[in-house]
Amino acid sequence: MSNRMIAAAILAGAALVPTAAAAQETKPTQAQYAATARYALPLAMQGTIDFCRPHLQSNGFFATNGSSLVKRYTAGKDKSWPVARDTLVKVITSKDKSSAAFITALPDEALKSMADAFIPTLVVEELNPKDCLIAEKIVAQLAPLPAENVANLFGVVITAIDKDEARKAAQTKATSPKAAGTK
């Protein structure tokens, strides 16, 4: 399981991390990623727990502590919604310009309902049953931390991923035949 997969699986990063091209245009800040993570954490965790439950032991962390962790992380998540909303709109519209008018015109509650539905779904799409044990171990290690700390950690990780992808894209562009002036 790659570092990027771990972040994506827990945070639904597939929706949050822009592509390298989109990142050059508009890239959320670390604080925006953290706020989005704070909102998404309980949704992503619930999606992970639901997906992994049949693949893990009945006395494991998800089975014994998962529900209480989701409940603890759910408390206060709505305070992050305004920044999370703006970040999600920024990322979605940077990936798909044709959706910009539709997404920005949605009433707040409609977009929130969509986010609440798609975040757990994106997590499940990224997970493989063989990833469940490592996801459970990661969540168990993060569980003692307050939700804000975990969200801030994801903000740091996703920002680092963005910077690494932008650096790799710049290197690729600089070493491409077009950049060298050859055909």
72-101: pLDDT as tens digits = 999 999 999 999 999 988 888 887 788 888
Look at residue 182 in the predicted model and tell me its pLDDT: 54
C-beta of residue 139 within 8 angstroms of C-beta of residue 30: no
Evaluate if pTM is beyond 0.75: yes
Left, alpha or beta for 16 (phi > 0: left; psi -120 to 50: alpha)?
Answer: alpha
- For the chain, the structural domain boundaries read 3-180
**Residues sharing a CB contact under 8 Å with residue 101, sequence separation 6 or more, in sequence order:** none
In contact, 90 and 166? CB cutoff 8 Å: no
- pLDDT of 112 reads 94
Amino acid at 111: L
pLDDT the model gives residue 179? 57
